[in-house]
Amino acid sequence: MKYLFLLLFLFSFLYPQKLEKVKLQLQWKHQFEFPGFYAAKEKGFYKKAGFDVEFIEFDENMNIVEEVLSGNADFGLSFSSIIIDYIQGDPIIMLANFFKQSPLVLATQKNIKLPSDLKNKKIMGLLDSSHKRTVLTMLNKFDININDFIHYPREFSVNAFVDKKVDAISIFTTNEIYELNKLGVKYNILDPAVFGSKFYDLNLFTKKDNAEYNRKKVKAFKDASIKGWKYALENKEELVDIILQKYNTQNKTKEALLFESKQIEDLMLTKVYSIGSIDLNQLNFIADTFTQSQLIEKLPKKRLEKFIFEDNIQALYLTDKQKEYLNYKKKIKMCVDPNWMPLDGIKEGKHMGIAADFMKNISNKIKIPIKLVITDSWKESLIKVKKRDCDILALSQKTPSRTKYLNFTSPYLKTPLVLATKKGKSFINDIKKINNKKIAIVGNYSMYEILKNKYPDMNLIQVQSVEEGLKKVQQEKFFGLLDNSIVINNEIQKYHLKDIAITGQFQESFNLSIASRNDEILLNEILEKTLNSIDSITREKIFYKWNNLEYDITIDYNLIAQILFISIVILALILYWNLKLKEEIKKRKKIERDLKESEQKFKLLFNKVPIFLNSFDSDGKITLWNEECSKVFGWQFDELKNYSNPLELFYPDKVLLNRVKNSFKDLDSILFKEWTPQTKEGKKLVTKWANIPLHNGEVINVGYDITQQREYEIELRKKNSELKKAHNRYKELNSELEDKIKAEIQENTKHQVTIMEQSKLAQMGEMIENIAHQWRQPLAEINSTVLLLDATLSNKKVLDSEIEEKLLEIENLTKYMSNTINDFKNFFDPNKEREEFNIYENIQKTLKILNRRLSYYKIEVEIKVDRNISLNAYPDELNQVLLVLLNNSIDAFSEKKVPLPLIEIFLRDTKKALILYIKDNAYGINNKIIDKIFEPYFTTKHKSQGTGLGLYISKMIIEKGFNGRISVKNEDEGVCFILELPKGES
């Protein structure tokens, strides 16, 4: 059997599986931007999937999409711009996304804080960037196009920015930020993601034909790549070392690559998204952003869905027992929450919502009906499932109390716990801040049990439904209602609750599964398998169909300031009506004098008040415009009144202009909303506006400027980020210092041990010299006595073969003892020099010393060494190492009672070194300690049997004396020591 396995091994070695050669086009030069793909290759994930992958570095003259379409590469990595390529007709398919936001940003000099400040400034490298559209889209939002700034060609360094030859530079947060920080340069960052331009990056794609006709191959490549990314993120330092060894074409330092690895992990948002996942909603958002920038036409969502590779169509495999269970079951009875739309609900006797679509999929897959048991409330559904009137709950969260009668699948729907309150409340992200508030929550819901266990002092009051809870929040009977975001948003829209908004989100979430009766375990197993077989595209479509979430987050500005603004608005309204009444009171002269005096006062107030006041008629023409508006926006009333549609001057973006106009019609409540008009000079401002309706249908617009406040907020976020980085660097330095101290202590310990051992060896040498001196005379006398006896017996003609044999044996023993003394003396000689010696003879010499022990334990020694091989080194030191290793094997045989003890010694002659193997069959060394056996004072023997220094000294002899290497491994039924002995003088 052993030979059969050997034959199979040789066959697989001689005829390995043929790998398919594929090429992956990178979107830049080799760096830590691509560690997942390196890991997939170096760790064999690609090989296991059947691929031999070649990485192609980016060249600035390349078009990545063209490289893939032309067949120069099988797969490509590119930016969000591939969405434009797809929409414009390129036959490509997106397989996976790895960076959830782009690392491309603009670094600016300290005086530039907003994109609008870049007008007529020098920007380096932006138009040279292969994914410039990310930044250009941000600039377009501030009405800056490529003609509004001076393009400075890219230099592959930051020197021009450091020397202030340019005002801004396009950089990657993963690379150049490290250089700027190291140089101590002060800068601002304009990140497109901060200004609403959040783009994907590092997108894996291939040709449409490849995806359609080689679906299994494409899926295997994608899966292996994702597996590589998971490994890379868990072993960042190992991947940095691999890049330094094999892929460091940019000559980066280890420190720079480690910095890049941290930045890359932040871009991937792995705590929120699974690696490689594609969010259809985000793709749609990116496409819409390109549309607004007039780069592409609006694309229907269904066409965008076809851009994503469908690879998760999984077959459902049931065991015979599971199939037998379903045949016996015939149908599954299901209870649901009748009032939890759009997650779960009953309408006109039919199951509705996200859960309903999942149940339809499951029913189709297992090929038996899932019948709805109609209930009026969630409480009733729980009672029925307890009584076994229902087999399953379509959507339920696992809690300690429910596990007593239910089993749960893995969650298939996760949604955050949010707080709904009346509009105008500050946004809350810490649930402890509402501890002292009266909070509604639907009774018998899992979240009530979870929160009560976690926050026992929380004032939670149970209601019958989300609808009831929200209405009581409207009536201010409760501060707010806790539930999941999807349901609350649905209820707000369904009942037109315009004064209710989501104003809080917490770390707790609803992890919703299918719950099944725990007395039928097979049912839960079937449901788990079926859920897992529903592919991600189907899931995405279901969620997209029912999910229409909007957050209305209101920032609570200074309440006193708002009261002041409202007061001024009232005064402004009085002024406005006085102006309207002017013509009607001309005939009343006495009143006219009073009116003029009043008018002057109100005009002064209208024009000097530090807020914006204006009004437009139904045709969009300006009717009111105070001095604060003129001062901030740069337009005078006389200039604006000549324009038929002056709002276009402030909102050139048509989409935004329509939203502003529509806001004039939304007069149900007076709330300040945020808008971004631009000034006469083209500078965008961040402002807050409220529309005040008058009884005659006209509207007064009241606003104030918060641009500087926004800038302060951005600066504060940046400072917090810098502080966090500094703190992390402090921790890194502490860790490095601890490592250096440990290393120094270990080195000192080794040095002390070396000194001590050298001292011991010297003392032992002296001791052996004394022993040799004391032994030589008795040995000589014994030898003389033997010669005398031999002569006497010969003279007397006494011939006895047995006596002759014993005398010869005594003579050989005394000679052996004398030679042994010489061997020990040479062994401890500190002035020995290198000499040419025969390896085979040296081994025999060592075995001769151990002959008694080997014979006693009946140990067989097999030597497979060429008798003509010699080495120029220290034969006695090699003997010492062999003595240690062979004695350890003998001790192991003795301790473990090995039935047929065997030691094998064989030699391999290579070009540069002789490799000597010493192998036994004494069952090997425990894997938990095998890495420690060469450490000083490490021993598994009793202190009376060893000091733990033998192997350490052997290691020092081989490494220091021979400039070689000693290693160990468990092999077959024993241990094998490997001595690498360099040839010639070192």
609: in domain: yes
Parallel, antiparallel, or unpaired: how do β-strands 122-124 and 168-172 relate? Answer: parallel
Q: According to the model, what pLDDT value does residue 621 have?
A: 84
Q: Omega of the bond prior to 456 within 30 degrees of 0, cis? A: no
Q: According to the model, what pLDDT value does residue 824 have?
A: 55
How is residue 76 annotated by DSSP?
A: E
Q: According to the model, what pLDDT value does residue 12 have?
A: 42
Phi and psi of 712, rounded to 5°?
-60, -40
Parallel, antiparallel, or unpaired: how do β-strands 699-705 and 612-616 relate? Answer: antiparallel
564: in domain: no
Separation CA 170–CA 149 (nearest Å)? 13
Q: Do residue 933 and residue 951 come from a single domain?
A: yes
Q: Are 442 and 484 in contact (CB under 8 A)?
A: no
> 801-827 vs 875-896: helix axis angle to the nearest 10?
120
In the sheet that holds 339-340, the strands lie side by side as 339-340, 344-347, 350-352
Separation CA 486–CA 470 (nearest Å)? 14
Q: Do residue 275 and residue 305 come from a single domain?
A: yes
Q: At 394, which helix (H) or strand (E)?
A: strand 392-397
Q: Do residue 826 and residue 714 come from a single domain?
A: yes
Q: Do residue 679 and residue 719 come from a single domain?
A: no
Separation CA 889–CA 920 (nearest Å)? 7
Q: Do residue 898 and residue 967 come from a single domain?
A: yes
- Specify the long-range contacts of residues 445-450, CB closer than 8 Å, at least 24 apart: 445/378, 445/483, 446/396, 446/397, 446/398, 446/399, 446/402, 446/510, 447/397, 447/417, 447/482, 447/483, 447/508, 447/510, 449/399, 449/400, 449/401, 450/397, 450/399, 450/508
377: in domain: yes
Final residue belonging to a domain, choices 665, 697, 729: 697
Q: According to the model, what pLDDT value does residue 416 have?
A: 86
**Token code pair at residue 850:** 């151990």
Q: Do residue 773 and residue 804 come from a single domain?
A: yes
> 3-state DSSP call for residue 55?
strand
β-bridge mates for residue 313, sequence order: none
Which CA distances in Å does 934 have to 917, 931, 973? 17, 8, 21
557: in domain: no
Q: Which of 480, 475, 477 is nearest to 458 (CA)?
A: 480
> 3-state DSSP call for residue 14?
helix
Separation CA 666–CA 424 (nearest Å)? 17
CATH number at residue 652: 3.30.450.20
**Token code pair at residue 960:** 């220091």
Q: Identify each DSSP E strand in 146-292 by its residue range.
A: 150-152, 168-172, 188-190, 201-207
> 3-state DSSP call for residue 950?
helix
Q: Do residue 485 and residue 612 come from a single domain?
A: no
558: in domain: no
> 3-state DSSP call for residue 635?
coil
Q: Could you tell me if residue 284 is left (phi over 0), alpha (psi between -120 and 50 degrees) or otherwise beta?
A: alpha
For the beta carbon of residue 830, count every other beta carbon within 10 angstroms: 8
- Rounded to the nearest angstrom, the gap between the alpha carbon of residue 338 and the centroid of all alpha carbons in its chain is 39
CATH number at residue 300: 3.40.190.10
Q: Which domain holds residue 498?
A: 320-546
593: in domain: no
Q: Do residue 373 and residue 474 come from a single domain?
A: yes
Final residue belonging to a domain, choices 163, 196, 229: 196
Q: How many degrees, rounded to 5, is the angle at CA 868 between CA 867 and CA 870?
A: 105
CATH number at residue 847: 3.30.565.10
Q: At 750, which helix (H) or strand (E)?
A: helix 707-795
Q: According to the model, what pLDDT value does residue 554 have?
A: 42
Q: Do residue 189 and residue 217 come from a single domain?
A: no
pLDDT along the chain (986 residues), means of 10: 38 56 93 94 94 92 92 93 88 93 89 89 78 78 86 82 90 85 88 78 93 87 95 94 94 92 87 82 82 67 79 67 92 94 92 94 92 93 94 92 92 88 87 89 85 88 90 92 87 86 87 93 92 79 69 44 63 62 58 59 62 82 85 86 86 86 71 86 88 76 86 85 85 82 76 62 61 69 75 72 71 64 56 83 88 89 92 87 91 89 93 93 89 82 64 86 91 92 74
Final residue belonging to a domain, choices 311, 335, 353: 311
Q: According to the model, what pLDDT value does residue 327 have?
A: 92
Q: Which of 691, 688, 679 is nearest to 561 (CA)?
A: 688
Domain count, the chain: 6
Q: How many degrees, rounded to 5, is the angle at CA 811 between CA 807 and CA 814?
A: 140
Separation CA 276–CA 100 (nearest Å)? 9
Q: Do residue 359 and residue 461 come from a single domain?
A: yes
Q: Do residue 273 and residue 399 come from a single domain?
A: no
